[in-house]
């Protein structure tokens, strides 16, 4: 009986997959650029070759990808005609975006263009545009110098120190929360959510990204371990959004809230925010933690390498600061001759009497150029944000 039931379920699943792929092809193929004939089910997985066009499309397991194969066409469509083509599709990574799974669909950088996206983007831009960054320098300086002491004490754990430094800076700026311990519970809450998000982000790891209707499979269903993982990651995401949000609200209620992005946003509401307004504010602030996991080679810290962090904070979004900082470490480990030249520039300004700060930036053009080149060389999210 079990054998017949398994065979029947397999046939039904195959029919449903075929129907879904076929319907997607009929609906969207007329609007796509030139493409090769595709195979049933696997699409263009077997044949990926160049076409005589600067813009092509291919299909793999039901997912259509459009490739802009020249700088000219990319600039034309994404810059000159950005009002048409700069939107993000409403579908893609079902594991990450679906409210039934991990539930990051309201993250500002993943939303399609619309009123909610405009509101959240405006909130972020208002507090983190280039001129406002100067207000964050005291926070960055304090956490950087604390990290420097930790690095001198335990250089082998440099990635952990950078992670704490970055997280402490962000959570102070966004929520006003001061992290005072290595295993801070609030930072641990954020870290757990981001680890789950990073795993869910790998689209090829989950069949639900190719067969979206699988999101409706119940968590108790045999073989649905991925669904149980998704629900765990969703709970961690809710904790990341709610715990620091609630902390700031409690501090505001008691009149002891330090200045922060969230306290200023909430102060604008003369009445209790609606559920939608609350969710918009939660995501506009909570999404600033999102980053890319990165593992790099071992290095030994000196003041010059640490100084690069200050420049990175002013050049990059807060959500990618950790990854960019670690890439700079990698670059200096790979090119010690450039590090030595930059160290000479730093020494000529500081004379071994103090640590650098952002006011020294105009006096260090070579260091600035290195950071700019690293951002070009290994951009964390070249087109995603």
In tens, the pLDDT along 104-117 reads 888 887 888 888 98
The CA-atom distances, in angstroms, between 168 and each of 79, 134, 179, 184, 251 are 35, 17, 6, 10, 18
The CA-atom distances, in angstroms, between 379 and each of 228, 289, 297, 308, 375 are 33, 18, 18, 16, 5
Residue 210 · residue 226 · CB < 8 Å:
no
> For 226-278, what is each residue's pLDDT tens digit?
999 999 999 999 999 999 999 999 999 999 999 999 999 999 888 888 899 99
> For 161-177, what is each residue's pLDDT tens digit?
888 888 888 899 999 99
Spatial separation of the C-alpha atoms in residues 159 and 328, rounded to whole Å: 12
Identify any residues that bridge with 224 across adjacent strands, giving them in sequence order: none
Residue 85 is predicted with a pLDDT of: 76
Average pLDDT (134-159) is 86
Phi, psi of 128 (to 5 degrees): -130, 25
Phi, psi of 383 (to 5 degrees): -125, 0
Q: Is the pTM of this model over 0.75?
A: no
Average pLDDT (72-100) is 78
Largest CA-CA distance found in the chain, in angstroms, rounded: 82
Q: Which is more confidently placed, 93 or 381?
A: 93
Q: Is 90 exceeded by the pLDDT of residue 73?
A: no
Average pLDDT (313-321) is 47
Residue 355 is predicted with a pLDDT of: 86
When the pLDDT of each residue in the chain is averaged and rounded to a whole number, the result is 77
Residue 232 is predicted with a pLDDT of: 94
How many residues in the chain? Answer: 385
Q: Is 70 exceeded by the pLDDT of residue 187?
A: yes
- Residues 90/210/378/312 CA torsion (nearest 10 deg): 50
Radius of gyration of the chain (CA): 24
Spatial separation of the C-alpha atoms in residues 290 and 384, rounded to whole Å: 13
Residue 49 is predicted with a pLDDT of: 52
């Amino acid at each position: 009986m079990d054998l017949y039931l398994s065979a029947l379920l397999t046939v039904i699943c195959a029919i449903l997959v075929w129907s879904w792929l076929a319907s997607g092809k009929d609906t969207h193929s007329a609007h796509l650029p030139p493409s090769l004939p595709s195979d049933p089910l696997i699409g263009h997985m077997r044949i990926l070759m160049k076409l005589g066009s600067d813009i092509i499309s291919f299909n793999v397991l039901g997912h259509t990808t459009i490739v802009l194969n020249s700088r000219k066409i990319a600039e034309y469509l994404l810059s000159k005609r950005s009002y048409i083509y700069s939107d993000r599709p409403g579908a893609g990574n079902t594991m990450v975006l679906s409210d039934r799974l991990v539930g990051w669909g309201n993250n500002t950088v993943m939303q399609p263009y619309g009123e909610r996206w405009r509101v959240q983007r405006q909130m972020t831009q208002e507090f983190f545009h280039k001129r406002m960054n100067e207000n964050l320098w005291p926070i960055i300086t304090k956490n950087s110098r604390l990290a420097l002491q930790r690095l001198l004490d335990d250089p082998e754990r440099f990635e952990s120190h950078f992670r704490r430094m970055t997280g402490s800076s962000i959570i102070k700026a966004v929520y006003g929360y001061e992290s005072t311990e290595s295993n801070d519970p609030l930072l641990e809450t954020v870290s757990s959510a981001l680890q789950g998000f990073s795993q869910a982000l790998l689209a090829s790891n989950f069949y639900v990204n190719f067969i979206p209707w699988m999101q409706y499979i119940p968590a108790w269903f045999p073989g649905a371990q991925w669904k149980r993982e998704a629900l765990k990651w969703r709970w961690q995401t809710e904790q990341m959004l709610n715990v620091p949000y609630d902390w700031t609200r409690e501090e505001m209620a008691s009149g002891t809230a330090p200045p922060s992005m969230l306290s200023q946003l909430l102060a604008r509401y003369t009445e209790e925010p609606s559920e939608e307004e609350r969710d918009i504010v939660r995501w506009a602030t909570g999404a600033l933690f999102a980053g890319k996991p990165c593992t790099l080679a071992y290095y030994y810290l000196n003041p010059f390498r640490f100084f690069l962090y200050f420049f990175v904070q002013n050049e990059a979004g807060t959500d990618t600061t950790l990854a960019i900082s670690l890439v700079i470490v990698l670059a200096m480990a790979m090119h010690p001759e450039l590090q030595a030249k930059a160290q000479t520039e730093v020494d000529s300004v500081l004379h071994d009497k103090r640590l650098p700060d952002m006011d020294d930036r105009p006096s260090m053009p070579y260091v600035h150029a290195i950071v700019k080149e690293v951002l070009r060389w290994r951009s964390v999210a070249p087109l995603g944000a």
